Chains A and B, each alone.
Chain A
Amino acid sequence: MATKEYAFYPGCSSQKGASASNYLTSVESMCKTLDVKLTEIPDWNCCGASIGYAEAGELPRHVLNARNFALSEQHMPGKEIVATCAACWLGARETRERLTHSETLMADTREALKESGLEINEMPNIRHMVEVLIEDLGFDEMKKHVVRPLEGVKIAGYVGCQTNRPFGVDGESFENPLYLDKMVEMVGAEPIPDYEQKVTCCGGALAFSEPEKAQAQIKDIVESAYDHGAEMIVTPCPLCQANVEIYQGQVNKRYGTKFDIPVMYYSQLMVVAYGGDAKAAGLNGQVIKARRLEEIAAKPVKR
């Protein structure tokens, strides 16, 4: 397969030293194996995320996203924009939909963009990395590179909200998306297709502002993974990853549970399965260490 090239929108949480920096590490290694070339949009800005709503207003939020489109167009005309973060992807996609369907909004956006010397002529396609993997590469292609199957590891595929609703990945159901399970299977591990909390909300930003509400949901998500005998949870979303992983201690305090389950990105599983070491997979970035994965990553590659 020829090299696939995209404009890359990593998002705030993926930056160095930020909460999803390990996601970026693993994505970079994964893309290298898969011959996917990601070129970062120069000087990209925050998508505004869903939680910014109180102060954001409608137009400022879309303008913020539109700035990234304009920069992408300026530097990489014609390239699709790929985001790894669910919120970035959703925020950008929403802006794309709204601007496409409202001439007024489009005109207003253009006017505001002028202030920073930018312009939009064409609407870019906004893709999530998972879409790129599934739709542009396909499971067969992804599977070809597996040299170290994660045999015997039982993994709960936690899809969460924003990669799933309202847009979701083509062909998947909102209530029971199966692509993470297919990915788990693809890397040689054991999926849990009937994991019933796979699309439960992690609480989103309420994890910060009203933690008791979010943690009640995090508890359900983790508990059900345990009930199904999962050794780890895998997710495509940085906020899901963070919420479900880092608050397990707090949940334990609140509910008297003894949760200690690693929460991984799909890209980390793939890197290990593709023969990458712990560092390339960003395993050092886990607050709850993924020992089992570290062991596998330390093993020699089967060729």
Chain B
Amino acid sequence: MTEHVATNETILVVGGGISGMTAALEAAETGKNVVLVEKNPALGGRTSQLYRYFPKLCHPTCGLEINLRRLKGNPRVRVLTLAEVSGIEGSTGNYTVSVKVKPRYVNENCTACGECERAVETMVDDPFNYNLGQHKAAFLPNAMAYPQRFVLDPSIIGTPEADKAKAACKYGAIDLDMKEETIEVKAGAVIWATGWQPYDAAKIQPYGYGRFKNVITSVEFERLADIHGPTGGKILRPSDGKEAKNVAFIQCAGSRDENHLRHCSRICCMASLKQTHYVREKFPEGGKSTIYYIDIRAIDRFEDFYQKVQADPTVTFIKSKVAKITEDESGNPVCWGVDTEGYKRYTTAHDLVVLAVGMEPSVKGINIPGHIASDSSGFIEADPANGAVFGAGCATNALDVNRAVQSATAAALRAIQVVNKVAKAEA
């Protein structure tokens, strides 16, 4: 990866998740120069935090490995991490984008040898694991991290801990004087692929997320199942570390709900169906899943997967939006509601409740610099008013991975159309 100078034939991609990486790589492999901006210290985004994909139950890191290999071998993509777009000026074919880059305190000399991590003692919350666990204040963001370079948590800068890290590094990779800087990047087109965030489950008051430790979100559950996660891949419940064998999955936690998200987030049904597999995988004996749902939306080719899970005797489906969750004296969350098929009331205790939280576009509520038209849910709309700023992936709609990648590939073409015109005009 050599650095190239961005021009108005460059495509700027905002967001280094699977959509952003796809858009960047597809454009670069078609011969275009790309600057890829990611706000986290490593690429990968939300999918890299998943344990498995539905419906194949394959591992997202597998595709990430391929994408990273594509990236490492492609000099046309310049990656900026810890970077956020703070302003876009100009118009189609001629944008100047301001990018705010936060200090990593570690430069490219880093070999990821890990000596700084061993030297530092301070622990900080680990956002890669949704703060379910902690890591050292000198850390590699995750096992697949690209750039494969450590990061110092800003909280230790100016403390003896930072000095310890610096002293431990034999390669002059730690630079405690790094400052936040804003750089300007020229671009002919911009692809906005900032993805989604899980809906804030604490807002769904009856479910007691935040009040009851054993009520967690679906994205957190992924981390519990993942070998790189805070429990080393064991499904242990947060309150007492007990094995959570009897797991409830609550669909539409935030989605299809006018008090929260009006749209259907599309992926959550499939995600829960997939997660019943984790329960079965980790507890071949005694694992039990209950899915509380309104409609199971196993759309198109995914129907098979639903039928397979339906045939599984350890999985129970209850057509019901759970009304509320309480906690019993052993810390078990208890679901209250009515099975609307046949009107059966239930108050059922589980070891763990997993809320299938909805998808909220990351751009919602954030002031996107420059003008970008979005719908009332905050998803970026295809609108001529957006000029050559194109949405991609979950920033545009609630999409599964496959559709997000399609969307990103399409966005790459739209951007290429713009820069090709620029190139033609300049030739």
Q: Which A residues lie at the B interface, using CB under 8 A?
A: 173-176, 194, 196
Chain A residues with CB under 8 Å of B324's CB are 175
A174 and B326 CA atoms in complex are apart in Å by 14
Query: Can you name the residue of chain A whose Cβ is closest to the Cβ of B207?
Result: A175
User: Total contacts A to B, CB within 8 angstroms?
Assistant: 13
Q: Are B326 and A196 in contact (CB under 8 A)?
A: yes
Q: Does B205 contact A (CB under 8 A)?
A: yes
List of A residues within 8 angstroms of B391 by Cβ: none
B211 contacts the other chain (CB 8 A): yes
What residues of B have a CB within 8 angstroms of the CB of A194 in the complex? 211
Bound together, the chains give a CA A196 to CA B208 distance in angstroms of 11
Contact with A along B50-62 (1 / 0, CB 8 A): 0000000000000
Tell yes or no: B206 within 8 A of A by CB: yes
Kindly identify, within residues 197 to 244 of chain B, every residue whose CB is under 8 Å from any CB belonging to chain A: 205-206, 208, 211
State in angstroms the CA–CA spacing of A196 and B324 once bound together. Answer: 12
Whether B326 lies near A173 (C-beta < 8 A) is no
**Chain A residues whose CB sits within 8 angstroms of the CB of B211 once the complex forms:** 176, 194
Q: In terms of DSSP, what is the predominant structure of the interface of chain A?
A: loop
Contacts of B206 in A (CB 8 A): 174-175
B205–A176 touching, CB < 8 Å: yes
Q: Give chain B residues whose Cβ lies under 8 Å from the Cβ of A196.
A: 326-327
CA distance A176 to B206 in the complex (A): 9
Helix, strand, loop or mixed for chain B's interface? mixed
- B210 nearest in chain A by CB position: A176
- Chain A nearest Cβ from B254, distance in angstroms: 15
Chain B residues with CB under 8 A of A176? 205, 208, 211
Give complex CA distance A106, B387 in Å: 47
For the complex, give the distance between the alpha carbons of A168 and B211 in Å. 20
Q: Which residues of B contact A174 (CB under 8 A)?
A: 205-206
Q: Which residue of A lies closest to B204 (CB)?
A: A175
Q: Which residue of A lies closest to B327 (CB)?
A: A196
Besides the known contacts A174-B205, A175-B208, 11 further A-B residue pairs in the complex with CB atoms under 8 A apart: A173-B205, A174-B206, A175-B205, A175-B206, A175-B324, A176-B205, A176-B208, A176-B211, A194-B211, A196-B326, A196-B327
The residue on A at minimum CB distance from B208 is A175
Give the CA-CA distance A174 to B204 in the complex, in Å.
10
Chain A: minimal CB distance from B227 (Å)? 35
0/1 interface trace, chain B 168-207, chain A, CB 8 Å (1 if under): 0000000000000000000000000000000000000110
Within 8 Å CB of B327, what residues of A? 196
Closest to A193 in B: B211
Subset of 13 A-B contacts with CB under 8 Å: A173-B205, A174-B205, A174-B206, A175-B205, A175-B206, A175-B208, A175-B324, A176-B205, A176-B208, A176-B211, A194-B211, A196-B326, A196-B327
CA–CA, A196 and B206, complex, Å? 12
A80 to chain B, nearest CB (A): 28
Question: Within 8 Å CB of B205, what residues of A?
Answer: 173-176
Please, how many angstroms separate the alpha-carbon atoms of A175 and B206 in the complex?
Answer: 6
Closest to A177 in B: B205
Q: How far is the CA of A194 from the CA of B208 in the complex (A)?
A: 11
Name the B residues within 8 Å of A173 (CB-CB).
205
A173 to B206, CA, bound (A): 9
Interface residues of B in 315-347 (CB under 8 A from A): 324, 326-327
How far apart are the CA atoms of A175 and B208 in the complex, in Å? 8
Rounded to whole angstroms, the CA-CA distance of A218 and B313 in the bound complex is 40
Which of A173, A175, A176, A194 is the most central at the interface, judged by chain B CB atoms within 10 Å of its CB? A175
Cβ distance A270 to chain B, nearest Cβ, rounded Å: 28
Closest 6 pairs (CB-CB, A-B)? A175-B205, A173-B205, A175-B206, A174-B205, A196-B326, A176-B211
In the complex, the chain A residue whose C-beta lies closest to that of B206 is: A175
Q: With the chains together, A174 CA to B208 CA distance in Å? A: 11
Q: How far is the CA of A175 from the CA of B211 in the complex (A)?
A: 11
Q: A175 → chain B, closest Cβ, in Å?
A: 4
**Min CB–CB distance A230 → chain B (angstroms):** 17
Separation of A173 and B326 alpha carbons in the complex (Å): 15
Residue of B nearest to A227 (CB): B329
Give complex CA distance A6, B74 in Å. Answer: 72
CA of A266 to CA of B206 in the docked complex: distance in angstroms?
Answer: 25
| B residues 115-166 touching A (CB-CB < 8 Å) | none
CB-contacts of B6-63 with A (<8 A): none
The CA of A211 and the CA of B421, in the complex, are separated in Å by 79
Report the bound CA distance from A165 to B324 in whole Å.
15
Task: Kindly state the separation between the CA atoms of A124 and B209 in the bound complex, as whole angstroms.
Answer: 37
Q: Measured between alpha carbons, how far is A194 from B329 in the docked complex, in Å? A: 13
Nearest opposing residue in chain A for B259, CB measure: A174
Task: Report the minimum CB–CB distance from A68 to chain B (whole Å).
Answer: 31
- Smallest beta-carbon distance A227→chain B, Å: 9
B253 smallest CB distance to A (angstroms): 14
- Tell me the complex Cα distance, A126–B211, Å: 32
Q: Which residue of chain B is the closest to A196 with respect to CB atoms?
A: B326
* A165 shortest CB reach to chain B, Å: 11
B117 CB to closest chain A CB (Å) equals 39
Interchain CA distance A197-B153 in the complex, whole Å: 43
Report Cα–Cα, A176/B209, bound state, in Å: 12
Q: Tell me how far the C-beta of B223 lies from the nearest C-beta in chain A, rounded to whole angstroms.
A: 26
Complex Cα distance, B211 from A173, in Å, reads 12
Kindly list chain B residues whose C-beta atoms are within 8 Å of the C-beta of A175: 205-206, 208, 324
Instruction: Give bound CA distance, A7 to B323, whole Å.
Output: 39
Alpha-carbon distance between A175 and B203 when the two chains are bound, in angstroms: 11
Find the A residue at minimum CB distance from B326.
Answer: A196
Docked pose: A174 CA to B259 CA in angstroms: 12
Task: With CB as the reference atom, state the residue of chain A lying closest to B329.
Answer: A227
Q: Output the least CB separation between A174 and chain B (Å).
A: 6
Which chain A residues lie closer than 8 Å to B208 at the CB level? 175-176
CB distance from A302 to the nearest CB of B (A): 36
A176 to B208, CA, bound (A): 9
Cβ–Cβ < 8 Å partners of B326 in chain A:
196
* A175→B325 CA distance, assembly (Å): 10
Min Cβ gap B123→A in Å is 28
Q: How far is the CA of A173 from the CA of B327 in the complex (A)?
A: 18
Chain A residue nearest to B205 (CB atoms) is A175
Task: Tell me the smallest distance from the CB of B191 to a CB of chain A, in Å.
Answer: 39
Distance, CA A175 to CA B326, complexed state (A): 10
Minimum distance in angstroms from A220 CB to a CB of chain B: 11
In the assembled complex, the Cα of A173 lies from the Cα of B208 at a distance in Å of 11
Which residue from chain A places its CB closest to the CB of B325 in the assembled complex? A175
Q: Mark B243-287, 1 if CB is under 8 A from A, else 0.
A: 000000000000000000000000000000000000000000000
Please report which residues of chain B, range 278-308, place their CB below 8 angstroms from some CB of chain A when the two chains form the complex.
none
B193 CB → nearest A CB, Å: 35
